[in-house]
Amino acid sequence: MSSERLVDPDVEVTEVEDEHLVDAALRPRTLDEFIGQHRVREQLGLVLEASKRRGRVPDHVLLSGSPGLGKTTLAMIIAAEVEQPLRITSGPAIQHAGDLAAILSSLSEGEVLFLDEIHRMSRPAEEMLYLAMEDFRVDVVVGKGPGATAIPLEIPPFTLVGATTRAGLLPGPLRDRFGFTAHMDFYEPADLERVLTRSARLLGVQMTPEGGREIAGRSRGTPRIANRLLRRVRDFAQVRADGVVTEEVAREALVVYEVDEIGLDRLDRAVLQALVGSFGGGPVGVSTLAVAVGEERETVEEVAEPFLVRAGLLARTPRGRVATPAAWAHLGMTPPRGAAAGAGTPDLFTDQGADDT
């Protein structure tokens, strides 16, 4: 897949109706345009500039971090900076070594291959990738059993950009083959305000600094969420106000969309309210908690829980999930004595086994 832009940079985004095209238009195209992640941006800039001066393809790059922090955008920027096409695929799409061999053998020299969710790639494909990353070669096995023959296939030099939200699941041999690794941190509110100011300009939205600050404070440190909230606040401002995103308009809009002052949404609050209201603050197993809020365990564990833990509202203990004093305070309730440690809560609410961890 080429990294060529899908929209004309001179065309105002308000003329583009497709939401996917809007997302593409809001993406920075160069490292200079990329906001935040200052250390990663500086380090990556050195890697790319050095490779251009040597006339060689850049080292393989591994980007880790939570969803929405800019890993895909950085992959696109890397391809743009070295003036090479970008091929995009993902770990779940590569279930057989043959799938990877087909992709690698079709790469052109210097091409950038972006492999999202690299930790979900199958083990046979992973082992083939080791050789491709080091020696730019793959061994294609022809036949089965004792008569099977491995035919070496040379592939042109390329740059692999891997992205993962769970770096701990990557095996050591794979991590070691990346020449540059970077962890993407959550954004500070000031950087999110800059992201929102840029996005508002591209979207043709009038926004006051106070309006941007209000949205940034509810964006959970994530640019993707900030841009999504900006579009919804824009809708509210156009329909129920004069089209200008002020602090008051942003606050009213986000009440409508059920995003509270620290960024909790409906699911987050449902989890906290169930934990506090139904289970006395815990400890309670995540499966039990998921049933209480009418969601799948994976949804609670992967969507709601990470931010609640990071915000200091929920703690994971060996016996289950526990609401912190901050969670009780956020819900306007007073915790019972010992609630912070889960003391005195019946074991009835704690799921057994791996669910408790």
d(CA 201, CA 212) in angstroms, rounded, equals 12
52 is catalytic: no
Which tokens belong to 200? 């508002």
Give rounded-to-5 percent helix, strand, coil for the chain: 50, 15, 35
- How many C-beta neighbours within 10 Å does residue 329 have? 12
C-alpha–C-alpha distance, residues 353 and 357, integer Å: 8
Concerning whether 72 is annotated as a catalytic residue, the answer is yes
Query: Is 144 known to be catalytic?
Result: no
Mean pLDDT of 325-348: 66
Query: Which DSSP state fits 23?
Result: H
Q: What is the C-alpha separation between 74 and 51, in angstroms, rounded?
A: 17
The pLDDT assigned to 348 comes to: 40
Q: Long-range contacts made by residues 22-26, C-beta under 8 angstroms, separation at least 24?
A: 22/203, 22/231, 23/227, 25/202, 26/199, 26/202, 26/203, 26/227
Residues contacting 307, CB < 8 A, separation 6+: 220, 263, 264, 268
- Lowest-pLDDT range, 44-53, 81-90, 341-350? 341-350
Tokens of 69: 């922090």
Cα–Cα dist 339/325, whole Å: 8
Q: Which of 71, 177, 234, 319 is catalytic?
A: 71
Cis peptide before 283 (omega within 30 of 0): yes
Output the pTM of the full model.
0.81
All structural domains of the chain: 13-183 (3.40.50.300), 189-256 (1.10.8.60), 266-356 (1.10.10.10)
Placement of tokens 């591209």 in the chain: 202
Catalytic residue among 165, 246, 324, 350: 165
Q: Could you report the per-residue pLDDT of 63-119, keeping only the tens digit for each?
A: 999 888 999 999 999 999 999 999 999 988 888 888 888 888 888 899 999 999 998
Q: Which of 162, 164, 219, 176 is nearest to 196 (CA)?
A: 219
Question: Where residue 19 falls among pLDDT bands split at 50, 70, 90?
Answer: low
Let me know if 165 is a catalytic residue. yes
Confidence of residue 303 (pLDDT cuts 50, 70, 90): confident
The CA-CA-CA angle for residues 128, 112, 25, to 5°, reads 135
| Residue 323 CA: distances (Å) to CA of 51, 281, 308 | 50, 5, 10
Single out the residue of 129, 158, 159 nearest to residue 62, CA to CA: 159
Query: Which one of 220, 224, 234, 319 is the catalytic residue?
Result: 224
**pLDDT of 49 above 90:** yes
In sequence order, what DSSP letters do the residues of 32-96 get, joined into one string? TT--S-HHHHHHHHHHHHHHHHHTSPPPPEEEE-STTSSHHHHHHHHHHHTT--EEEEEGGG--S
178 pLDDT more than 60: yes
* Cα 224 to Cα 140, 220, 305, distances in angstroms: 40, 10, 18
* Catalytic annotation, pick one of 27, 72, 218, 351: 72
